Structure 1
Amino acid sequence: METILIIEDKESMAQMLKQTLEPEGYKILIAKNGEEGIKLIKENKIDLILTDLKLPDKDGIEVLKASKEDNQIRPVIIMTAYGSIESAVSAMKCGAFDFITKPFDTDYLILLIKRAIDTQKIIRENILLKEEFATQLGIPKIIGKSEKILNVAQMAQRVANTKTTVLLLGESGTGKELFARAIHNISNRRNYPFVPINCAAIPRELLESELFGHEKGSFTGAETKKLGKFELADKGTIFLDEIGDMDISIQSKLLRAIEEGEIERIGSMRPSKVDVRIIAASNKDLEKMVEEKKFREDLYYRLNVFPIKIPPLRERKEDIPLLADFFINKYCTEMKTSIK
């Protein structure tokens, strides 16, 4: 049995609502003001709040905000007089499920409450499903139930606690960095840095310095010593996104970092040891690039030790509803609103 909290300072209105809703199978609690309502919210499992916008001590928007403090999924319906519709719309922007204008048709109110509670149930079920799928996948923040995404998740789990270099392959937008972070977060390196770098976004003349660092005075503008991404990622993971765009002149230094576990800053004569797990990603056909002499063959085979192909969404359409729900909930939370 769902519990509805009515917050209404007029006794006659509160009793009328109680007599209307109890025969529908709801348990009814009544509060005469906002403070009493908030107390009941904290002390009881409330499934829906029906509150007047104008209360003696607080307004309905304050009650609405207080009701969200425990992060429970609990729809709030605002009752308002005709002249206060603008305030009711403001309440919806703050996350109210809907508003109803006095005097209202009780049949419409019953339907509105049923719709709010049904929506609440769907959201709760989706949250449980996401938790279930996250358990199945074993990887936080990876959402899906399709066979293809389950296979990818299983491969990620299998390789996570090794030092094996991973190559993530897939089109732009398939979530390669998300999977790279997930592998890091379930690995024994998770308490150390995850350092991403997009090889396509940095000019060739700057990429070497970004990756391996430089010594003071090693080139014009090098006014201080700089640690590169490899040293910043020591004991953790470096994610080399769009590795296919890396200039071939830098690839030899990357190969040395993989083979010998050491890098050399620009302007330095001494190598520095680094303990870094490498995850690379590309949306290009690296094998074809090797054939065309655009990518080092020896580096390709060093990177391609454990390839994982991330499928595009069009190949796992059964995941679309889960992802849509995730993003709706995410942006509703960020914007403190709800979608009916």
Structure 2
Amino acid sequence: MTAHILVVIDDPAQRRQIKATVEALGHFVELADGGRAALDFLRHRGREVKAIILDLNASGMETGEFLAALSAMDADVPVIVETGQDSIDAAVEAMRAGAYDFVLKPASQERISSAIANALKSHRGEGTAARISRRSRAGNVSFNDIIAASSAMERVIDLARRAAQSTIPVVLEGEAGVGKEMVARAIHSASDRSSKPFVIVNCDAVGVEAIEEHLFGDTDGEADTSHNGGKYRAADGGTLFLNEIGALPIGVQARLLQVMEHGETDRGGSAKRRKNDVRLISATHKNLIEEVKLQRFREDLYYRLNVYPIMVPALRRRKDDVPYLARAFVERFSQEQRLPRSLTISPAALALLTSADWPGNVRELENVIFRAVILASGSELNEVDFPQIAAFVDHAPAPVSRSASYRSSNSSAPSRPLDSYIRETARSEALETGEPGMAANMIVSTDQSGNVRKLSDVEEELIRFALKFYRGQMSQVARKLGIGRSTLYRKLKDYGIDPENPQKKVA
């Protein structure tokens, strides 16, 4: 559908670029160099505009002020805000103020197309495109069913599409709950094996004693049937998905390697052997190379499996996927609960969900949305429908600072290094107050000789603490420290801090 899109960007070069991108999608583009010019245009020709792309740096007025003025005009136009990688928090605030969606610069044509398409559907009252549909529950998943609004997930989908065109072994890496199984199903569905079985073996859910029989069938030389041939034979002609392969016992790893090398299975020493045509896709949340070093995973099997690794990023690393996932889950669960009309979700609620770090990743977000839909009392989900998320985001504890005055106020303090004394006292306080994390959150202000520590030393320690405390979420770390992300990255370089392992000291 062709629509009029208002582009509000103050930089001429960027404005031309976005105009060309939107026009390439078949839409008409109207231009404004700032918020006030955009509002003036909307007063005269607002009925023509179906969506707005707004750069957060657009001159003339604050984004919140622009959105408030838009609301005061009763202009029911979805706003897509555009921001840089270091300003995602500002985008979240814009969503809280009423923006429909946000894209991170530089945004691909596919990302802008997806944002506009969903905004237009919202404007027409059709709801959001729930690409996570009921088909995913039935197991028939295509790449179009996977939310890939972020550049990180677009990269995953691109790699997975390429993998689907061959029988090369694939290892999907990533934390629990990121959607590795869904990617595996999409690879199978896009391959020429799509009409054949997709068989799953959860290696960490089957007992150590039973996993070999579960995978390869019984070992007593009974007649060879599909029933007792194990999951490997059941996947003949199709795909075998080994979930959490890092949990596979060493002995079973050896047999799997043998089967992969010879392309056939036996029956526990029987002379009879059977050829099998099986495509292997594995998944793990573990670092397999570390497992190899610890001799918990066979090195030869690792190199046999790890031909084509794909890292599926954690949800906190691709926060621009959150609004799309949330809307898709709301629509899907509304349908599954047979509600007379699909629920909607407010911009403030989307901003809250985007602010969270989601340690349980997409699976946790899905469960939170499901609970909210089940308990919903209105037609729109708001912040109050996510109390557990609001409590976690708004009340995260801050680090505790102790200074030399602490010792002077305790005249009975024994003579020992101040750092040791303060930490011991803090531990005692933690036991008395029921806050065992207090000592771990403490940053000492003086050294062991009683002198005030260098500012750079305290700053480095605080940055390391913040990175660990907020699990490496750079935008949240920068916001809580009161600095910009570019400044944070510069300080990481100055202090030699690895954001993935902030406690590691660089020699």
TM range (shorter): 0.5 to 0.7
Listed as ranges, the gaps of 5+ residues in structure 1 are 1-117, 132-137, 219-223
Pairwise CA distance, 1:317: 0.4
Q: 1:252 to 1:123 in 2, by over 3 A?
A: farther
Corresponding residue number in structure 1 for 2:231: 229
Q: Is the 8 A contact 1:214 1:267 kept in 2?
A: no
Corresponding residue number in structure 1 for 2:187: 183
Corresponding residue number in structure 2 for 1:87: none
Q: Is the 8 A contact 2:216 2:231 kept in 1?
A: yes
Pairwise CA distance, 1:181: 0.4
Pairwise CA distance, 1:330: 0.6
Counterparts of 1:266 and 1:326 in 2: how far apart (Å)? Answer: 47
Alignment match of 2:147 (pick from 143, 149, 157): 143
Cα RMSD for the two superposed structures: 2.7
Corresponding residue number in structure 2 for 1:198: 202
Q: Is the 8 A contact 2:170 2:307 kept in 1?
A: yes
Pairwise CA distance, 1:122: 5.9
Moved runs in structure 1, 4+ residues, more than 6 A? 128-131
Alignment match of 1:171 (pick from 171, 175, 178): 175
Counterparts of 2:123 and 2:277 in 1: how far apart (Å)? Answer: 48
Pairwise CA distance, 1:266: 3.0
Counterparts of 1:319 and 1:335 in 2: how far apart (Å)? Answer: 24
Corresponding residue number in structure 1 for 2:283: 281
Corresponding residue number in structure 1 for 2:81: none
TM value normalised by structure 1: 0.59
Corresponding residue number in structure 1 for 2:212: 208
Counterparts of 1:241 and 1:199 in 2: how far apart (Å)? Answer: 6
Counterparts of 2:210 and 2:180 in 1: how far apart (Å)? Answer: 24
Q: Is the 8 A contact 1:152 1:309 kept in 2?
A: yes
* 1:325 equivalenced with 2:348 (yes/no): no
Counterpart amino acid of residue 153 in structure 1? I
Counterpart amino acid of residue 332 in structure 1? S
Alignment match of 2:261 (pick from 259, 262, 279): 259
Alignment match of 1:158 (pick from 159, 162, 175): 162
Counterparts of 1:272 and 1:123 in 2: how far apart (Å)? Answer: 57
Q: Is the 8 A contact 1:248 1:295 kept in 2?
A: yes
TM value normalised by structure 2: 0.40
Q: Is the 8 A contact 1:169 1:310 kept in 2?
A: yes
Counterparts of 1:170 and 1:164 in 2: how far apart (Å)? Answer: 19
Deviations 1:258-311 (A, max 9, x none): 211111223633221100000001000110110111100000001110000000
5 Å-filtered alignment, 1:1-340, equals 121=123, 124=126, 126-127=128-129, 139-215=143-219, 226-266=228-268, 268-337=270-339, 338-339=342-343, 340=379
Listed as ranges, the gaps of 5+ residues in structure 2 are 1-119, 134-141, 344-378, 380-507
Pairwise CA distance, 1:140: 2.8
Counterparts of 2:235 and 2:242 in 1: how far apart (Å)? Answer: 12
Pairwise CA distance, 1:130: 8.6
Q: Between the two proteins, what is the percent identity of the paired residues?
A: 42
**SS of structure 2 residue aligned to 1:195:** strand
Corresponding residue number in structure 2 for 1:101: none
Counterparts of 2:203 and 2:290 in 1: how far apart (Å)? Answer: 19
Aligned length: 214
Structure number with the bigger relative contact order (C-alpha 8 A, sep ≥ 6) is 1
Q: Is the 8 A contact 1:130 1:322 kept in 2?
A: no
Q: Is the 8 A contact 1:238 1:277 kept in 2?
A: yes
**SS of structure 2 residue aligned to 1:162:** coil
